[in-house]
A and B are shown apart, each in its own frame.
Chain A
Amino acid sequence: MAVTDTSRSVDEAFSQASLLRAYEKMSLIRIAEEKIADHYLKNKIMSFVHFYIGQEAVAVGVAESLTKNDKMLGNHRSHGHYLAKGGDLKRMICELLGKKEGLGRGKSGSMHMMDRSAGFAGSTPILGSVVPLACGVAFAQKYRKEKNITAVFYGDGASEEGVVYETMNLAGLFRLPLLMVIENNLYSVNSPIQDRRAAGYDIGKIVEGFGARYVRADGLDYRDVRKKAKAFVDYLREGNGPAVVECITYRHMAHSAPIFDESCRTEDVREKREQKDAIKLLRSELLAEGVTEEKITEIEKKNVQIVEEAILFAVKAPFPDKRTLFDDVYV
């Protein structure tokens, strides 16, 4: 499918400074989750968690294509989406640990990122349900004649729910500025995609059958995601919509635990995941472009420091007062 390539902005997007910024974000997400996983295992944290490790290029590639006033919504695996949109790491970790300073004051936990100050309009673990919600946020943008767009992340599993297709039609009918980002990590929990799809299943044909634009991106390649997402974002800003970018990626960890679970893997075995890892790829590209190892290590060390400080902050932060159990049921 032909997509207008705004090559000037693509050049800017892939300047050394821009790539370094993207690397800094991807590395922060990775280090944050690795250290959170470690903390969970050592401290028996009783709060459900779905790690994003491996998929960072998708969140950052899309987020770097958006402006601050664009909106983003996600799912149960949204730490990366939230941080990529400019979220507050301290408040995020506070929420994971059930603290008063958390994004949802301890009510939401890991599956519900929300921070309107960052343009992050919410996330929900009811899979396809987030897609019409995001459609509504895009509806409000169009209703108010704003030039902003809404990006929504959902997985290959959620793509099997009917409401996603109802919404492709609805968003097309009203020509809403909705960027639907499918993160295809090949598994719905532990069920591999080939066990869940009819032989001729073709998401591109389905999307284009709704008159919407579709493109497939290599979700392990930051540049590919960034380029394709940006082209669609520009297209949506022109008043067209919706558009779907499907990013093929790998989920390194188990569906919902701070561990590596290899039992379901066939193609994406550990060696392959590590070899094709998104962060390693961007890192080697930066080195090839002449960024020094020292510069990259400096970024990584800074991120380790930021994350350790945030975890320490969250550990020390107070729990919510028990009386707040009844707060905010109603406005």
Chain B
Amino acid sequence: MMYMYKAERIIKFTEAIREATDQMLAEDKNVFQVGLGVTYKNGADGTTGGLAEKYPGRVLDVPVSEHSFTGMSVGAAIAGLRPIVHHGRIEFAFLAIDQIVTQAAKWNYMFGGGNPVPIVLRIAVGRQWGNGPQHTQSPYALFGGAPGLKVVIPSSPKMAKGLLISAVRDPNPVIYLEPRWLYQIKQHVPAHMYSEPLDKARIVRRGEKITLVAYGDGLIAALEACDILGAKAGVELIDVVSINPIDYKTIQRSVSKTGRLICVDTSPAAFSIGSEIIAAAGKASVLKEKAIGLSCPPAPCPTSTALTEKYYPTKIEIANAVLHVLRKTPIKRKLSFEELHLAPQLTVL
């Protein structure tokens, strides 16, 4: 059946988050939203605007006390409510790491089951021009090693909505890492409520020759690289989506087919998601040739555009990594200032 996209349903990543939040607040009276500035007109980067008026007493601005309001939300979840906590930058969520990793993640296990903590932590992560070492960290892998947490990274508006709905309905603590670099990305998003699985990788493009694995902001760069290369390059592009647990099955199936693997990280390579996936492929001995990891350098992300220009893997670098593996001639193209430094405003399929 042909589905005609309605123009008004082409919405931004942030609008998709807002829509999911709105629908979950309407669906379940136990759901409430807390976070700094979530009651503002353009609250939480536009993801909560207008909801405070629509749901009185359920969308709450809080003092700058990250440890305390996160802990309060964990406590409310222990008592059966379903909080959505927003941290506008992961650096501020770090102040509450005790409540996330030591309390929420362990609670059900250490009390022998039957003690769910149905909380969602929306944490904005990573790349943004002009924000430097303490406002743009990308520790995507951080929560991947904490059993008890589910961790997802949406990479498109459609995923953003479906994953958030699943996260709020899930009885476990879910870390929802939002790459702020993607906030302006647009996509057709269904108006109805739908859910995306929290533990499955997603095959974005099918191909036979090489497996390209990425997530979040790196996924968009990888998608653009695929467009540059064209379908004949045979790239199978996989969006990791879930990093706790990682869906090794889907990735392994692809790598078994292609025998070749490139992973894109938008963080330094040490202890990264890409390194973890390459290690797993090595253990499974499915590679025909050596894997490639593209990542940020082992340095904090600086502020000056003269330096950030070299920081994140670009679509050209990703495309050239594919061409290198396929023994083809690399592309020579210089990216514009806008392509390098401004958040993409693409409409994706």
Interface residue ranges, A against B (CB under 8 Å): 71, 102-108, 112, 114, 116, 121-122, 124, 126, 129, 131-141, 143, 162-163, 166-167, 169-170, 173-174, 327-331
Contact = CB atoms under 8 A, between A and B. Distances in A.
Contacts of B305: none
A262 B80 CA distance: 44
B76 A129 contact: no
B92 to A, nearest CB: 13
A137 B80 CA distance: 9
B110 A121 contact: no
A140 B81 contact: yes
B68 interface: yes
A136 B79 contact: yes
Nearest to A161: B67
Contact of B75 (A139, A327, A329): A139
A55 B102 CA distance: 27
23 contacts: A103-B111, A104-B112, A107-B109, A107-B110, A114-B111, A124-B102, A126-B98, A129-B98, A135-B71, A136-B72, A137-B78, A138-B75, A139-B76, A140-B79, A167-B72, A170-B69, A170-B72, A328-B112, A329-B147, A330-B172, A331-B108, A331-B116, A331-B171
A174 to B, nearest CB: 8
A60 B341 CA distance: 62
B147 A166 contact: no
Contacts of A124: 102-103
Contacts of B77: 136
Interface string B137-155: 0000000000110100000
B113 interface: yes
Nearest to A131: B71
Contacts of B80: 140
Given A132-B68, A136-B76, A173 B109 contact: no
Please list the 8 inter-chain residue pairs (A to B) with the smallest Cβ-Cβ separation, ordered nearest first.
A136-B75, A132-B71, A105-B112, A140-B79, A166-B68, A166-B65, A328-B113, A133-B75
A314 to B, nearest CB: 15
Instruction: Bin the interface of chain B by size.
Output: 35 or more
Contacts of A136: 71-79
Contacts of A135: 68, 71-72, 75
A71 B72 CA distance: 15
B107 interface: yes
Interface of B: 32, 57, 60, 62-63, 65, 67-81, 98-99, 102-103, 107-116, 147-148, 150, 171-172
B67 A330 contact: no
A47 to B, nearest CB: 13
B115 A114 contact: yes
Contact of A330 (B32, B68, B108, B112): B108
Contact of B111 (A112, A129, A166, A330): A112
A61 B105 CA distance: 33
Contact of A133 (B78, B113, B172): B78
A118 to B, nearest CB: 13
Nearest to A134: B75
A76 B32 CA distance: 31
Contacts of A131: 71
Contact of A107 (B81, B112, B172): B112
B274 to A, nearest CB: 25
Contacts of B98: 126, 129
Nearest to B81: A140
Given A137-B78, A170-B72, 9 more contacts: A104-B110, A121-B78, A121-B79, A122-B107, A132-B70, A133-B74, A135-B68, A136-B72, A173-B63
A59 to B, nearest CB: 20
Nearest to A141: B79
Most A-side CB within 10 Å, residue of B102, B103, B150: B103
